Chain A
Amino acid sequence: QQQVKQSPQSLIVQKGGISIINCAYENTAFDYFPWYQQFPGKGPALLIAIRPDVSEKKEGRFTISFNKSAKQFSLHIMDSQPGDSATYFCAARGAVGETSGSRLTFGEGTQLTVNP
């Protein structure tokens, strides 16, 4: 019940295209859903995050769509660029108490390649 399922495993998009990565979760106690971007040899870096009380959040070319009833959320990268080529991880976090609940549960990752 703690799992987060992510698809696709890999994605190839042409420059200027839209990249879409999907995640699904089971645990309804999750209340915070971040997306992380990871370049080779680097740690994951927060890209954008959403709470389940909103259905969409947009920051520049990056948009999270959230469907609470389906327990699914997705990342859309508009006008994809070669510099976006990286591994993307969705994650989920349970409600935070003072000393617990803040662990992130990650999806399997999607390796995105944007061809020039």
Chain B
Amino acid sequence: EPEVTQTPSHQVTQMGQEVILRCVPISNHLYFYWYRQILGQKVEFLVSFYNNEISEKSEIFDDQFSVERPDGSNFTLKIRSTKLEDSAMYFCASRVEETQYFGPGTRLLVL
């Protein structure tokens, strides 16, 4: 069964550094998402992406964040200058019809 994959599974970085989280959505899906989950809290929407542009973003998704689909398969989330509060699990999702399929996540720890 096709699935969303994410790399790396874990990333440790220093505050102020740039990180890029990578996702490979399911191949025939056209809608892509990033969510995050701070430890012990709910899953929060960050951004949705369709037709090579952002279709929606939350208040969390400020100028430090950007997304890109650099080729036909990858979907990336970049955090330009990480903060301590960016430490979370980041989930990529892709959608066909109504169902969003989530990847296994990247655990980001900012020190």
Name A's B-contacting residues (CB within 8 A). 32, 34, 36, 41-46, 49, 89, 91, 93, 96, 98-109
| Contact across chains for B48 and A107 when beta carbons are under 8 A apart | no
| Contact across chains for A104 and B104 when beta carbons are under 8 A apart | no
| Contact across chains for B50 and A99 when beta carbons are under 8 A apart | yes
Give the tally of cross-chain contacts (CB within 8 A).
Answer: 64
Write the chain B residue with the least CB distance to A3: B42
Q: Counting CB contacts under 8 A, is B27 at the interface?
A: no
Name B's A-contacting residues (CB within 8 A). 4, 31, 33, 35, 41-45, 48, 50-51, 55-56, 58, 91, 93, 95, 98-105
Write the chain B residue with the least CB distance to A97: B55
Apart from A43-B91, A102-B56, A106-B42, list 10 A-B contacts with CB within 8 A: A42-B104, A46-B99, A46-B100, A99-B55, A100-B48, A100-B56, A102-B48, A102-B95, A103-B58, A109-B42
Q: List 5 A-B contacts (CB under 8 A).
A: A34-B98, A43-B105, A46-B101, A102-B31, A104-B45
